[in-house]
Amino acid sequence: MVRSFLCVLMALLALGARAENLRVFWSDVEGGAATLIVTPAGESILIDSGSAGNRDAQRIFKAAGERFQLKQIDFLITTHFHSDHFGGAAELAGLIPIKTVYDNGVFDGGYERPTKVYELFPAEKRLVLNPGDELPLKNLDGQPRVSLKCICARQKFIDPPAGAQPNAACANPERKGLDKTDNANSIVVVLSCGDFRLYAAGDLTWNVEEKLVCPVNLIGKVDVYQCTHHGLEQSNNPLVLNAIAPTAAVMSNGTTKGSEPGTWKALRAAASVQATFQIHKNLRADKENNTPDELIANLEKNCEGHGILLELDAAAHNYTLSIPATKVNRTFAVTAK
């Protein structure tokens, strides 16, 4: 009987330790940014936290609790100090514990600062994220390795990979005016799980984006491109899109913010991009700057705040992007290496 009890106990423990698939959820924060990642080991990473006030914090909290049954946010990465990226953090910390905060800290050239409320909300650790840093994520035996690596922060970059070849597309790059805002200091990260890779760059702007792939590509290929800066055309440099060759893109835009013509020109010209999902339909007069309605989470101005979900299969061979509210989904093969 003792042996039977021990066998049952071990089976239950094994079931409790069963890995989940990698999942990513883009909350609707009305033109801000909030990307929640849940690893196979059950750890959570939130990249940006939307704007101040109850709305965005509640939407992120709902995704964390109801969708993923999270009891805490293990890691918060604030890509830069603009309120639509850090504003919801303090309210969120009042709803669910935030363990470790990564951001740019105080640095030369940092002209913009967050609010005192952001600087003082409770967290176990506050750390500066540097190029080359990887989050200390848990990995499970027998599961594809998960990592999240910082590629760029405060306009500083990782070293080129060994044997990197010059990017021929950089011979005559288009440049735009100098950006003196904190957008240019955005933290850039790449999430990997096995061969799957996702790129997220906050609101990094055009001229700094160029340095990610010129004179050599510091990123490599990716599967999913989180459209930079809500799809504004002062970001989303085609040099980056063409160099990293994503299969799918996700745009966290608003009804009148982002989703601009220059970005859509770049997305439509990128041979690798098979589909773009949007949080909101662009309701400006230039309504041609949208993906098909079925790939848009929220079609109306006064919406219910639907999000977009990515699920990677256990072997990290295929991933599905979906709008859970409508059950529309698209599945893609992992191609990045």
pLDDT grade for 172, boundaries at 50, 70 and 90: very high
Q: What does the mean pLDDT of the chain come to? A: 94
pLDDT of residue 2: 41
Q: Is the pLDDT of residue 246 over 50?
A: yes
Q: 19: pLDDT confidence band, cut at 50, 70 and 90? A: low
316: left (phi over 0), alpha (psi -120 to 50) or beta: left
8-state DSSP, 134:
B
b/e sequence 24-60, b meaning 16+ C-beta within 10 Å = bbbbbbbbbbbbbbbbbbbbbbbbbbbbbeebbbbbb
Q: Is the pLDDT of residue 293 over 50?
A: yes
Sole residue written with tokens 């002209």: 111
Is the pLDDT reported for residue 10 higher than 50? no
pLDDT given at position 17: 43
Tokens of 97: 């514990």
> CB of 230 within 8 A of CB of 205?
no
* Single-letter code of the amino acid located at 95: L
CB-CB neighbours of 118 under 10 Å: 21
Residue 38: predicted pLDDT: 98
pLDDT at 11: 39
The one-character DSSP state at 228 is: G
**H or E segment to which residue 76 belongs:** strand 73-77
Residue 7 has pLDDT above 50, yes or no: no
Note the pLDDT of residue 14. Answer: 38
Residue 94 has pLDDT above 50, yes or no: yes
Burial (Cβ within 10 Å: 0-12, 13-18, ≥19) of residue 95? middle
Decide which of 231 and 110 is more confident: 231
pLDDT of residue 337: 67
Question: CA Rg, the chain, in Å?
Answer: 20
Question: pLDDT, tens digit, for every residue of 121-165?
Answer: 999 999 999 999 999 999 999 999 999 999 999 999 999 988 889
What pLDDT sits at residue 28? 98
Helix extents (H) in 51-205: 54-62, 83-86, 89-93, 116-120
pLDDT tops 50 at residue 197: yes
Q: Read off the pLDDT of each residue in 116-123 and give the average, rounded to a whole number.
A: 98
Q: Are the CB atoms for 76 and 49 separated by under 8 Å?
A: yes
pTM of the entire predicted model: 0.94
Residue 273 has pLDDT above 80, yes or no: yes
| 93 burial level (CB within 10 Å; 0-12, 13-18, 19+) | buried
Cα separation, 238 vs 172, whole angstroms? 13
Return the domain boundaries, the chain: 19-333
Q: Tell me: pLDDT of 5 over 70.
A: no
pLDDT of 3 reads 45
Share of the chain above pLDDT 90, in %: 91
Span 225-240, mean pLDDT? 98
Structure confidence at residue 331 as a pLDDT band (50, 70, 90): very high
Overall CATH class of domain 19-333: alpha beta
Q: Percent of the chain scored above 70 by pLDDT?
A: 94
Contact present, 202 and 228 (Cβ < 8 Å): yes
